[in-house]
Chain A
C-alpha cells in the first residue's frame, strides 16, 4: 500500500541567485551561485551528494539539452544527474525528483537545482513558441502567447461571475499591487517597485483583458535545494523544513478538446491540491495553511488559484483580495517574496525559488517580509496554459 512521502524528506540547505536581467552572468555562473549558497547553507561538501536533479526548460537559449551542462559546471564527480523539464513547473519537478529519490530510500542526500538564462534570444521574451510545439501542433495551434492563453481564462471568469471588465480588472490590479509591495522589500527580486492600484489600471492592454501589470516578464536566475532523509536532518541543522507532500497533475485533454470545462478555473489544480492535502493530512486549507507562493505568471492565475486550492470559495476570491486576506499582514500571506510578478520567472528555477521563500520564512530569515510563526507552507507551480497544463502543489512544514 503506497504511503506517500509525508515527513520522509527534509530540506537542509537552499540557495537562490538574484533574479533579473543578468547580463553579467551566463548559465554556468547562475548554477554555481545557487549551488554555493545551498552547499554553505547545508554545511555539506560536494562529495556528500549522491544524486542530482537538474531543471532547465528552454534549451534553445539556455545551455542545451541533457544534464551535462550542470555536471560540467559544478564538476560533479560522475554522479547520477537527471535533467527534467515540465514547462514552468520545471523547478518543482527537479525538487520532486530529488525528494522522491530520498523518500524511496535509494539515496540519503540529493541536490535539486533549476537554472534558466532567458535574456539571450535577441528579441525580448521566450524563444518563439511555434518552434517548440512539435511539428504537428505548429500547423494547427493558434498564433498565441502566454498572456493570451491566460487572458482567455480571465474572460470566462468575468463572464461566469458577472464581473464587468472594469470590476474584474480592479480585482486583478489589487492582486498585483500586493505582490509589488512585497517584492519591493526583497533584495533578490528582479523588480523592487511598489505600484498603486490606480497606476496599474492606467497601464495599457497586453492581451485583453490583461494589462501590463497583470503579466510577468523574463528573468535570469537559478535556485537550488539540498534534501536528505528526515531522520538525518537534525544532524545538519536545528531547523530543517520537512516535506509533507509533493503532487503533480497533468491535463487530460478534456479542457482543450471536450466541452465540459467552463474555462474559468484550472481543473488540474483542483485535482492536484486535493491529492496534496490528502497526502499532507490537511483537512481545511483555509484554516491550516500559513503562507503560500503560487504561480502568478498572470494575476488572473493567482486569483483563480486561490479558489482552485480550496481557500477562497468559488467566484468569491475577489472578496478575499479586497479584505487583504492574502496580504503580507493577512490571514494567508501569498507571494511574500514578490512572486513571479516581481521576483521574476526564470522558468527552470521558479519552483525552487518558491520553496526558498517558504524555507527562509520557517527559519525566521525573511527580514522585513517575515511572517509570524508559520506552520504550513504551500507552493503552487504551473506549466502550460489553462487549457493544457500541469500543476505542482507542494506542502512543507516543521
Chain B
C-alpha cells in the first residue's frame, strides 16, 4: 500500500489580532472585518523557510537519506528561478540523487503536489517522497486578503512502508477559473468579485471534486469520517457541507480564526491537524481549491498510533504563540512600508555563490564535522580539529547540527545592529553532544532570554540583497517548541 508515512507542520510564532489590522486600515474598506487572529511570518521567514520547518518536523526520527524526492508546493516562492525544492532538500540534508520539483501558481498546488508524490510512489519510481507546502501570501493594505491570508506550512512523507494513512483514491477537476490572479513580477493577488467566486467556483468545484471522489472510490459521502476543504467564506463553507450532506462531526473547525488561509499549505495543514487526532479506520478526504479542485482520500491505519505525538505538528505550533502588537510592524515585515534601513542596513555584502556552492551543506544544512580521532563535533566544518589536545588534521566525518538541541551559552540584545525587529538578539549555542558556535536568535523577546535556556535551530532568511535579488539563508536559534502528546 502507498500513502502517508509521516507528517509535520509549521505555524509562525507571531500572531496578530485581526482587530489591530481593522483598527489600522478598517476606515478604508470597512467590509473587511474578520474575527480571530492570524499567523504572521517573521521578517526572517518565507515559504522556503517554513517548508523546511515543516519538513524537519515531518522527518523526526526518520533517516534523511531515505528521501528520494522533494516536492515544494507554494504560490509565493521567493525565486522565480532557483528551485525552492532544492534549497529545501539541501536544508533537510537530503541526498543529491533525488528528484525535486516546485509545484506552484495556484493554491491547489498543495494537493497536486501530494498527488504527484503518491502517484510516483505507487508507480514504484520513488520509494519515499517529501511533500512540503508553504505560503506567505501578502494582501494590500486595507484589503480583505490582508485579513484572511495567514502564513504556514505542512509536510507529508509519502511511501510504502509503515503507512499511517493509506491513499485510497482521488478525483480532480481543472478549470481556468480566474477568481484570483497575479502576473509574474506582481506582488499582490487580484480577485474578481466575491459573489462570482463563491457561487460559480468555490461552492461548485469543491462539491464536484468531492462527489467525484466518493464515486471514484466507490463509497458514500456518509462513509467519510472527515471532509477537509478550505474555508474561504464562513457562510459558504457551511453551504458546501449542506450540499454534500455532511454532518457536523464530518466537518473540521478551520484554522481560519487562528492561522488564516494559508494558500497551498492550507489543505495539508488541516490534514495534519486531522491526522493528529485520527483513529485507525478513519476515512479522511482532503480537498485543495484553485483552478478547479483536487479531492484525495486517505484511510488511517493502525500505524498511526506509533507516530502520534512525535511531531510538533499543528497542535504544538498552535500553542507556541507570540503576540504581534502592531499593524505597522506587520506591514514593515511584508514590505508594505518603505522603511528606513539606513546606508548600513541597505549595504548588503554580495553573495559569493561559488563559496556557497562549496559550503552548501554547511550553510544550508548546518552540517559540520566530527573528529574521528577524538569524537569532538565542531561547526563550521574544520580540517584541523579544534580540540586543544587533539589537533588531528583531515580526520573528519560530516556531522549534522540542524536537528540537535542546545543551550544558550550567552546572549545579548543589540540596539545598534540593524534589525527589522530590534533589538537584534544573538548568542552562542552549546549543542547537546558537543559543538559550539555563535548564531542570531529569533522568535524571542529579550526578556525571555536566559543563560542556559534550551534552544533549537531554525532555518531562516539571513539577509535579502535587494539590489541583486538574492535571498540568503542560514540557521538561527529559537526557543524550543514543545510537542503536545
Bound CA–CA A148/B417 (angstroms): 8
> Which residues of B have CB within 8 Å of A208?
412-414, 423, 446
Nearest residue in A to B452 (C-beta to C-beta)? A159
Nearest residue in B to A125 (C-beta to C-beta)? B344
B185 adjacent to chain A (CB < 8 Å)? no
Contact B419 A143 (CB under 8 A): yes
> Which residues of B have CB within 8 Å of A156?
409-410, 451
Partner of B414, one of A131, A141, A147, A256: A147
Contact A142 B439 (CB under 8 A): yes
Bound CA–CA A151/B387 (angstroms): 26
Given A125-B344, A131-B349, A253-B386, A207-B413 contact (CB < 8 Å): yes
A93 → B minimal CB distance (Å): 24
Contact A144 B414 (CB under 8 A): yes
Given A139-B462, A257-B435, A144-B343 contact (CB < 8 Å): no
Partner of B472, one of A139, A155, A254: A139
- Chain A window 122-134, contacts with chain B (Cβ cutoff 8 Å), 1 for yes, 0 for no: 1101001011000
Contact A128 B349 (CB under 8 A): yes
A199 adjacent to chain B (CB < 8 Å)? no
Contact A145 B351 (CB under 8 A): no
Q: Which of A136, A256, A258 has the most CB of B within 10 A?
A: A258
Contact A257 B437 (CB under 8 A): yes
Bound CA–CA A143/B380 (angstroms): 17
> Which residues of B have CB within 8 Å of A193?
none
Contact B428 A140 (CB under 8 A): no
Bound CA–CA A131/B465 (angstroms): 13
Contact A128 B386 (CB under 8 A): no
A5 → B minimal CB distance (Å): 28
Bound CA–CA A10/B434 (angstroms): 48
Interface residues on B, range: 35 or more
Bound CA–CA A138/B348 (angstroms): 10
A362 → B minimal CB distance (Å): 38
Given A141-B438, A143-B440, A131-B409 contact (CB < 8 Å): no
Bound CA–CA A207/B415 (angstroms): 6
Contact A151 B363 (CB under 8 A): no
Contact B417 A252 (CB under 8 A): no
Contact A139 B356 (CB under 8 A): yes
Contact A139 B348 (CB under 8 A): no
Given A125-B344, A135-B352, A254-B386, A155-B437 contact (CB < 8 Å): no
Contact A257 B378 (CB under 8 A): yes
Contact A206 B435 (CB under 8 A): no
Contact A145 B428 (CB under 8 A): no
A109 adjacent to chain B (CB < 8 Å)? no
> Which residues of A have CB within 8 Å of B428?
152, 263, 387
Contact B436 A259 (CB under 8 A): yes
> Which residues of B have CB within 8 Å of A73?
none
Partner of B351, one of A123, A139, A142, A152: A139
B96 adjacent to chain A (CB < 8 Å)? no
> Which residues of B have CB within 8 Å of A99?
none
Contact A256 B438 (CB under 8 A): yes
Contact A258 B416 (CB under 8 A): no
Partner of B412, one of A121, A131, A151: A151
B454 → A minimal CB distance (Å): 16
Contact A206 B349 (CB under 8 A): no
Partner of B426, one of A135, A148, A260: A148
B481 adjacent to chain A (CB < 8 Å)? no
Bound CA–CA A232/B347 (angstroms): 52
B149 adjacent to chain A (CB < 8 Å)? no
Nearest residue in B to A386 (C-beta to C-beta)? B410
> Which residues of A have CB within 8 Å of B349?
128, 130-131, 138
B155 → A minimal CB distance (Å): 25
Bound CA–CA A122/B426 (angstroms): 26
Q: Which of B412, B413, B416 has the most CB of A within 10 A?
A: B412
B355 adjacent to chain A (CB < 8 Å)? yes
> Which residues of B have CB within 8 Å of A260?
388
> Which residues of B have CB within 8 Å of A387?
428, 438
Q: Among residues 172 to 227 in chain A, which have CB atoms less than 8 Å away from a CB atom of chain B? A: 204-210
Nearest residue in A to B380 (C-beta to C-beta)? A140
Bound CA–CA A125/B416 (angstroms): 10
Contact B426 A257 (CB under 8 A): no
B60 adjacent to chain A (CB < 8 Å)? no
Contact B363 A139 (CB under 8 A): yes
Nearest residue in B to A144 (C-beta to C-beta)? B426
A153 adjacent to chain B (CB < 8 Å)? yes
> Which residues of B have CB within 8 Å of A121?
343
> Which residues of A have CB within 8 Å of B413?
205, 207-208
Given A136-B359, A142-B426, A257-B378, A123-B416 contact (CB < 8 Å): no
B480 adjacent to chain A (CB < 8 Å)? no
> Which residues of B have CB within 8 Å of A252?
386, 388
B218 adjacent to chain A (CB < 8 Å)? no
B110 adjacent to chain A (CB < 8 Å)? no
Contact B347 A258 (CB under 8 A): no
> Which residues of A have CB within 8 Å of B427?
152
> Which residues of A have CB within 8 Å of B386?
252-254, 257-258
- Chain B window 370-387, contacts with chain A (Cβ cutoff 8 Å), 1 for yes, 0 for no: 000000101110100011
B229 adjacent to chain A (CB < 8 Å)? no
B135 adjacent to chain A (CB < 8 Å)? no
Contact B414 A145 (CB under 8 A): yes
B416 → A minimal CB distance (Å): 5
Bound CA–CA A151/B438 (angstroms): 13
> Which residues of B have CB within 8 Å of A140?
362-363, 380, 474
A89 → B minimal CB distance (Å): 21
A146 → B minimal CB distance (Å): 9
B411 adjacent to chain A (CB < 8 Å)? yes
Bound CA–CA A387/B423 (angstroms): 21
Contact B344 A155 (CB under 8 A): no
A33 → B minimal CB distance (Å): 29
Contact B348 A130 (CB under 8 A): yes
A259 → B minimal CB distance (Å): 5
Contact A128 B387 (CB under 8 A): no
B168 adjacent to chain A (CB < 8 Å)? no
Given A131-B349, A256-B437, A259-B434, A139-B411 contact (CB < 8 Å): no
- Chain B window 212-245, contacts with chain A (Cβ cutoff 8 Å), 1 for yes, 0 for no: 0000000000000000000000000000000000
B177 adjacent to chain A (CB < 8 Å)? no
B146 adjacent to chain A (CB < 8 Å)? no
B430 adjacent to chain A (CB < 8 Å)? yes
A121 → B minimal CB distance (Å): 8
Nearest residue in B to A150 (C-beta to C-beta)? B412
Bound CA–CA A258/B431 (angstroms): 10
Contact A155 B348 (CB under 8 A): no
> Which residues of B have CB within 8 Å of A209?
412
Given A138-B349, A257-B379, A148-B424 contact (CB < 8 Å): yes
Given A254-B386, A256-B438, A206-B416 contact (CB < 8 Å): yes
12 further contact pairs, Cβ within 8 A, besides A257-B436, A259-B436 = A131-B349, A140-B380, A141-B438, A143-B417, A148-B416, A152-B427, A155-B410, A207-B417, A258-B378, A259-B430, A263-B410, A387-B438
Identify 25 residue pairs between A and B in the complex whose beta-carbon atoms are under 8 Å apart, listed by A's number. Answer: A123-B342, A123-B344, A131-B347, A138-B349, A140-B380, A142-B426, A142-B439, A143-B440, A144-B417, A147-B412, A147-B414, A151-B412, A156-B409, A206-B414, A207-B416, A208-B412, A209-B412, A254-B386, A256-B436, A256-B438, A257-B378, A257-B380, A257-B382, A257-B386, A260-B388
* Top 8 A-B residue pairs of the complex, sorted by shortest distance between their CB atoms: A135-B352, A151-B412, A142-B426, A148-B414, A123-B343, A207-B414, A135-B355, A208-B413
- What residues make up the interface of B, taking CB atoms closer than 8 Å to A? 342-344, 347-349, 351-352, 355-356, 359, 362-363, 376, 378-380, 382, 386-388, 409-419, 423-424, 426-428, 430, 434-440, 446, 451, 462-463, 472, 474
